Structure 1
């Protein structure tokens, strides 16, 4: 049987399509290749983007901003001294970009201006911190990326 150039091109295209299909099926079925969304309800999250920008601008407009330090015993968040600590309410969300199973939230309920997140709760690597807090009816949002060793 002789293969001319027309049949050769058709065979090459068919083999290429089979090759691509094999990898698509492999990536979709193998749990090693996790392709989850960063945010579960993406469209709801996107609809609230304007509110998020207002809260972030409120935090940016502060003269004294919360400070986030990475120490040996954990991550310390120190709120500005001008705020009464027990009037600060909100939550600290910690997101692990590489694995959503490690994500968690901590409510802000403090009696002194600092909040400690113990290192025992944090796996080494990159973490995205979102501090959503309120003081006397005004909402703030502070975001920072930290690296744990």
Structure 2
């Protein structure tokens, strides 16, 4: 049987499609490849996006902002002296983009103007930090990214 050039192109396209389909199925079936969404309830999160942007803008409008910095001990969040420490409430969410199992939250309850997240709790790599806090009834959201060595 002789294959002409048109038949050869059809066979080549079919083999290429089979090759791609093999890898798509392999990634979907193998539990080693994690296909989680960034946010579990995406549509509920999207519904409150406007409120989130308002809290981010509130944080940007502050004249004295909290400082999130990386130190030898871990990540330190320092609030300005102008704020009364025991009136600051909220939570700090640490999100690890590469592994959902490493994500955790720390409540903000301060006796002094700083909060330390120990380096022992942080695996090396990229961390996204979302600090949702309120002071005197006004809500704020501060976002930052750090790379831990």
Name 1:123's counterpart in structure 2. Answer: 123
Distance 2:20 2:70 in 1: 45
- 1:5 CA displacement: 2.4
Name 2:50's counterpart in structure 1. Answer: 50
> Which string of whole-angstrom CA distances, capped at 9 and with x for unpartnered residues, describes residues 84-142 of structure 1?
11111100000001111100000001111100101110001110010000111100000
CA RMSD across the alignment: 1.1
TM normalised by structure 2 equals 0.95
- 1:35 CA displacement: 2.1
Distance 1:5 1:124 in 2: 54
1:27-42 aligned within 5 A: 27-42=27-42
TM normalised by structure 1 equals 0.95
Structure 2 gap ranges (5+): none
> Which string of whole-angstrom CA distances, capped at 9 and with x for unpartnered residues, describes residues 28-71 of structure 1?
11223222111111111111111011101111111110001111
Structure 1 gap ranges (5+): none
For 1:8, what is the secondary structure of its paired residue? helix
Name 1:136's counterpart in structure 2. Answer: 136
